[in-house]
Amino acid sequence: MLEAHGWGALSSQLNERARRGDWLGMAELITDEMLAVYATVGTWDELPERLAARYRGLVDRLAFYALPGVLDDPGVLRTVMAALRA
């Protein structure tokens, strides 16, 4: 996947840091440009519109994953899902 975007050289560095369990070190290698290619980024209020714009007509199912403490209010996710269904 990295090679397809011209970032193939980064793969070995990421693999090495993953082997060491250096997750923060991996994060330091990822640029905002890279993140934008692989992730939909925005506030909870912006997320439904951005997800719909990116995936409408391409997918029929989305999954959300959040680290503990990131999504403490499950109502937020319900609000995002309701907005996507609308």
Q: Give tens-digit pLDDT for 59-86.
A: 888 887 776 777 777 788 888 888 888 7
pTM over 0.85: no
Considering the domain architecture, whether residues 61 and 26 belong to the same structural domain is answered as no
Q: What is the pLDDT of residues 46-64, one digit of tens each?
A: 989 999 999 989 988 888 7
Place of tokens 């996507």: 84
Considering the domain architecture, whether residues 47 and 31 belong to the same structural domain is answered as no
Considering the domain architecture, whether residues 27 and 54 belong to the same structural domain is answered as no
Domain ranges, residue 5: 1-39
How far apart are alpha carbons 12 and 28 in whole angstroms?
A: 14
State the total domains in the chain.
Answer: 2
How far apart are alpha carbons 7 and 73 in whole angstroms?
A: 36
